[in-house]
Chains A and B, each alone.
Chain A
Amino acid sequence: MTSSTLAAPGAGGRRRRLASAAIVLVALGLLTLLYSALAPRGSAASSSDPDVIAGRDLFVKFSCASCHGMNGEGGQRAPSLIGVGPAAVDFQVGTGRMPLQHHSAQAPRKRPVMTEAQIHQLAAYVATLGPGGPPVPDVTGYQNADVAFGGALFRTNCAQCHNFVGAGGELTYGKYAPSLAEATPTQIYEAMVTGPENMPVFGDKTLTPDQKLAIINYVKSVRSQADPGGEGLGRIGPVSETLAGILVGLGLCVGAALWVGSRA
């Protein structure tokens, strides 16, 4: 009787204790989930790869995080870096476009602020933010690619914006397709696979790696040709030459005539 009367509240206490333990467990589980959602994504924090750890420091040190977010999640001012891959990092930082100095229609090419080793570390870190994205391409042997075919591909796919010898050109609202004069073979390849800013993406199924190497070979060989007349004027042919001849040449003649006339 007593035991039963004692047992009853005893059993009830056990149930209560079990219930509160379950609540604590559920709360803990929720907390863990919340933490995993809020805490830095990827395995950067726990990664033992020294490149990744150094890259994370660089990500903060060079203020990448101020626009792209502490975890590269992007924001109002900058796109997300999750899943962009090492090629995008190598291109943007290697051409000096990132870190951005000021906001304008388009990021201009400038001297890179990081060394090659630092870019490699940064790329390694960004790669841990999320899977996907092309790796830094290998362009060895591009000199052996079919340069004539590359020229045909370039004129079909690239020349409309970059000009048929890669001199670059204007786009809408202050944007432009940059000149390819300074672009390295690796950077040209990276631009094709990642589609920086407003450039369309040319994945490996749109242009196979062999076709990309052919395009690179064409760009590099056409850019290294001599200009028989001195200033190439973008090598866009008789249009620019005639225009320069008429505007500059005739302008100089008229100016000289006016000057002589005014001093006579």
Chain B
Amino acid sequence: MSDETPETAGTPDEPGTEAPKTAAEASGSVFGRLKHPVSTGGAARQRSSSASAREIEGEVLRRGNMAPDVPDAVRPRRKVGRRRTEGTEAAEAAAEAHLSRPSDSDGTHFLPDSEHGTSEPLDPREDKFAELLVSGLFVLATLAVIWVCIAFFAIPAHERLGEWMNFSLGGGLAIALLATGAGFVLWAKRLLPHDVAVQERHNPYSPEEEELLAEETFLKGVTTLGLGQRTILRRSLLGIVALLPLPAVIMLRDLGPLPRKQLRKSGWKAGDRLVDVETKLPIKLGDLEIGGIKTVLPEGFGNVQEHALAPTMLIRFAPGEIRSKKERAWSKNDHVAYSKICTHAGCPISLYEQQTHHLLCPCHQSTFDMANDAKVIFGPAARNLPQLELDVDAEGYFVAKAPYNQPVGPSYWERG
């Protein structure tokens, strides 16, 4: 902000004339304030230079090389009349009144105490107390910093996984910073003068001639480059600009190829034994208690990548608990097997409640009713969990009677 030309600040029509709402908004340049310290005494300030709204408008017109009698329609619209402040007449009058008050050299108008209430100077005892309080906080911060330095050497670093060390360093620094900050805040609030000041906002638009100059400079630059005449230069430039995106396109090829039928394979074949995911042992009829659940994979499963879609839950119900006819038909002695991959976003789910038979997905709270064909009863999942048809082989081990009859896991583009 220029100290010398507060007059450019704009016409009364422009937002600059709006009275600032807070002291912070109106405070202007810090260095300006430092040069012109103010007192909280009630005396009205008389400053030498002050610009009235009329003077400002005159200055704008002069700098735009326009006479005051130029009709509005001809004046550049961006100068005048845009963003007209909407306000009551009283508010506009108040704003006008603030701006007619005496101002600093940087265009700051200090409001008399009558505008914002009086601020009595502190009595000496309060002043002393505030000073002690602030200095006390600074001393506390100093002690905390010293403690941090000592703690770094004094505290055994690996005691309780470093818990004490962390507390000493982090806590000490936190106290130091907080106490310093609190000291500054209290200093400002208790000991500094409280003024209310308004200042015109500088004009957000450049003067017309500066804009014209910029435009001219740009066009001149384009002409100087000589793209019009130098054909070979222009064509070679076009070549590189056209080819520049090519490496990006080639590198994005890594996103492919499309999965095609890969996502339809779950890793299960008809006759595959169900094996425990940890012990890799097959599961016999009767291994599961009523209300039990187990995560299973097809026997001989290899690496996780190949069988990412294979995890399956084996659940045992009490007799008569299965409500869905289809589920019962695909079950074996009250055991059912369902895909463990949520049909919404593919999270592994086995938050199974054995009394309600609800299965909850921890990611987005999709809830499936496992006694009723894993129907979605809550949440964003769109499809029931796919069921794996169960059978028992000659030795009494659970096997898949058939692979999943639909793609397991979340939806994808080509799923159909």
Binding site for B on A (CB under 8 A): 149, 152-153, 156-157, 160-161, 169, 171-173, 175, 177, 195, 197-203, 205-206, 225-230, 260, 263-264
Given A171-B353, A205-B288, A228-B163: A200 in contact with B293 (beta carbons within 8 A): yes
B361 to chain A, nearest CB (A): 10
Interface residues of B in 274-302 (CB under 8 A from A): 277-278, 284, 286-295
Find chain A residues with CB under 8 A from B362 CB. 160, 169
Find chain B residues with CB under 8 A from A195 CB. 289, 291-292, 354
Q: How far is the CA of A153 from the CA of B286 in the complex (A)?
A: 20
Pairwise interchain contact B367-A156, C-beta atoms closer than 8 A: no
Pairwise interchain contact B354-A205, C-beta atoms closer than 8 A: no
Q: How far is the CA of A229 from the CA of B166 in the complex (A)?
A: 7
Interface residues of B in 1-58 (CB under 8 A from A): 22-24
Binding site for A on B (CB under 8 A): 22-24, 160-163, 166-167, 185, 189, 277-278, 284, 286-295, 315, 348-356, 358, 360, 362, 365, 367, 378
Q: How far is the CA of A156 from the CA of B280 in the complex (A)?
A: 13
Contact of A230 among B166, B286, B367 (CB under 8 A): B166
A171, A226, A227 — most chain B CB neighbours (10 Å): A171
Pairwise interchain contact B185-A260, C-beta atoms closer than 8 A: yes
A166 to chain B, nearest CB (A): 15
Pairwise interchain contact A171-B351, C-beta atoms closer than 8 A: yes
A-B contact pairs, 14 of them (CB 8 A): A156-B278, A157-B295, A160-B349, A160-B362, A171-B358, A172-B360, A173-B358, A195-B289, A197-B355, A198-B355, A201-B291, A202-B292, A203-B287, A226-B160
Q: How far is the CA of A156 from the CA of B167 in the complex (A)?
A: 35
Interface majority SS on B: helix, strand, loop or mixed?
mixed
Find chain B residues with CB under 8 A from A153 CB. 278
Find chain A residues with CB under 8 A from B166 CB. 228-230
Contact of A172 among B22, B24, B160, B353 (CB under 8 A): B353
Find chain A residues with CB under 8 A from B356 CB. 172-173, 175, 198
Pairwise interchain contact B189-A263, C-beta atoms closer than 8 A: yes
Pairwise interchain contact A264-B286, C-beta atoms closer than 8 A: no
Find chain A residues with CB under 8 A from B160 CB. 226, 228
Pairwise interchain contact B378-A172, C-beta atoms closer than 8 A: yes
Q: How far is the CA of A228 from the CA of B350 in the complex (A)?
A: 31
Pairwise interchain contact B358-A172, C-beta atoms closer than 8 A: yes
Find chain A residues with CB under 8 A from B162 CB. 228
B292, B295, B315, B365 — most chain A CB neighbours (10 Å): B292
Closest A residue to B354 by CB, please name it. A200
Q: How far is the CA of A206 from the CA of B287 in the complex (A)?
A: 6
Q: How far is the CA of A55 from the CA of B65 in the complex (A)?
A: 107
Find chain A residues with CB under 8 A from B348 CB. 160
Given A201-B289, A202-B292: A172 in contact with B185 (beta carbons within 8 A): no
Contact of A201 among B22, B24, B161, B292 (CB under 8 A): B292
Find chain B residues with CB under 8 A from A169 CB. 351, 362
Q: How far is the CA of A149 from the CA of B349 in the complex (A)?
A: 21
Give the top 9 A-B pairs by smallest Cβ distance, nearest first.
A198-B353, A203-B289, A201-B289, A226-B160, A205-B287, A228-B161, A200-B293, A201-B291, A226-B161
17 extra interchain contacts, Cβ-Cβ under 8 A, other than A198-B354, A228-B161? A149-B278, A157-B295, A160-B362, A161-B351, A169-B362, A171-B358, A171-B360, A195-B291, A197-B355, A200-B291, A201-B289, A203-B292, A206-B292, A225-B161, A227-B161, A227-B163, A228-B163
Find chain B residues with CB under 8 A from A226 CB. 160-161, 163
Find chain B residues with CB under 8 A from A198 CB. 353-356
Q: How far is the CA of A199 from the CA of B358 in the complex (A)?
A: 11
Find chain B residues with CB under 8 A from A264 CB. 22-24
Find chain B residues with CB under 8 A from A201 CB. 289-292, 354
A179 to chain B, nearest CB (A): 15
B318 to chain A, nearest CB (A): 11
Pairwise interchain contact A156-B277, C-beta atoms closer than 8 A: yes
Find chain A residues with CB under 8 A from B288 CB. 203, 205-206
Closest B residue to A200 by CB, please name it. B293
Closest A residue to B356 by CB, please name it. A198
Find chain A residues with CB under 8 A from B365 CB. 172
Find chain A residues with CB under 8 A from B24 CB. 264
Given A195-B292, A205-B286, A226-B160: A160 in contact with B351 (beta carbons within 8 A): yes
Find chain A residues with CB under 8 A from B292 CB. 195, 200-203, 206
Q: How far is the CA of A235 from the CA of B212 in the complex (A)?
A: 63
Q: How far is the CA of A160 from the CA of B362 in the complex (A)?
A: 8
